[in-house]
Amino acid sequence: MRRVTVARLTLRLGTAIGAAAALRFVTSPPVRDPAPGARPEAAAAIGPALPHADADSLSGLIKGRDPFRVARRPAAVAFDPDRGPGAPPAPVAPPAARPAFALAGVVLGPASVALLDGLPGADGTRVVREGQRIGDYVVRHIGADSVIVAGPDTVWVLRLRRAFP
């Protein structure tokens, strides 16, 4: 007999035993507590009381006790070990707003420059060169009708607006 066949047989046997044990647990009658005047040894022989569930409601029990988040979303309350269980939740900072860049113009030459609107910390239009850093943003490339600006998590390709195509 080959090893693969023995492994498959072992896997099938283990699955069958596990399924039988689960079915026995689900279909067994609930364990009753001993009478008030019974001896402690009799209570120990009976064992702890287990909840009884029908096969149809077993999935509801599993889902009700599931320790994982079914919705796949982070918790509404942030974990903070320094705060007690009765303390109000810590305020959550809103995400940083992304700038609304706009390309106003391009001047090509040996040292090409671009005119950008919407740069953070600058009012109006600002002249930038290729490779220049403005805060967290870097001007990567200046083309004839486009500019590439890279941020910490986003890359913008800005194109000139044309009045007529």
* Range of lowest pLDDT (71-75, 123-127, 129-133): 71-75
**Reported confidence tier of residue 40, pLDDT bands at 50, 70, 90:** low
Is the pLDDT reported for residue 60 higher than 80?
no
What distance in Å separates the CA atoms of residue 145 and residue 115, rounded to the nearest whole number? Answer: 11
- Say what the alpha-carbon torsion angle 17, 21, 27, 32 is, to the nearest 10 degrees: 160
- Taking the C-alpha atoms of residue 69 and residue 127, their distance in angstroms, rounded to an integer, is 49
Residue with tokens 């994982």: 68
SS3 call for 15? helix
Sign of the torsion formed by the C-alpha atoms of 120, 122, 128 and 131: negative
What's the mean pLDDT in 50-68? 60
| Percent with pLDDT over 90 in the chain | 22
List alpha helices for the chain, DSSP H: 3-27, 40-46, 58-64
Domains and CATH numbers, the chain: 3-64 (no CATH), 102-159 (2.30.30.830)
In this predicted structure, the answer to whether residue 32 has a pLDDT above a threshold of 60 is no
Task: State residue 103's pLDDT score.
Answer: 92
- For residue 139, how many other CB atoms are within 10 A of its CB? 20
Residue 34 has pLDDT above 70, yes or no: no
pLDDT in tens, 136-153: 899 999 999 999 999 988
Per-residue pLDDT band at 113 (split at 50, 70, 90):
very high
**38, pLDDT greater than 80:** no
Average pLDDT of the residues in 146-162:
90
- Looking at 33-47, 82-96, 142-156, which range is the least confident one? 33-47
pTM of the model: 0.43
Closest of 133, 100, 130 to residue 118, by C-alpha: 100
Q: pLDDT at residue 110 above 80?
A: yes
* CA angle at 47 for the pair 21 and 36, rounded to the nearest 5°: 145
* For residues 30-34, average pLDDT: 54
> Which pLDDT score, from 0 to 100, does residue 52 have?
59
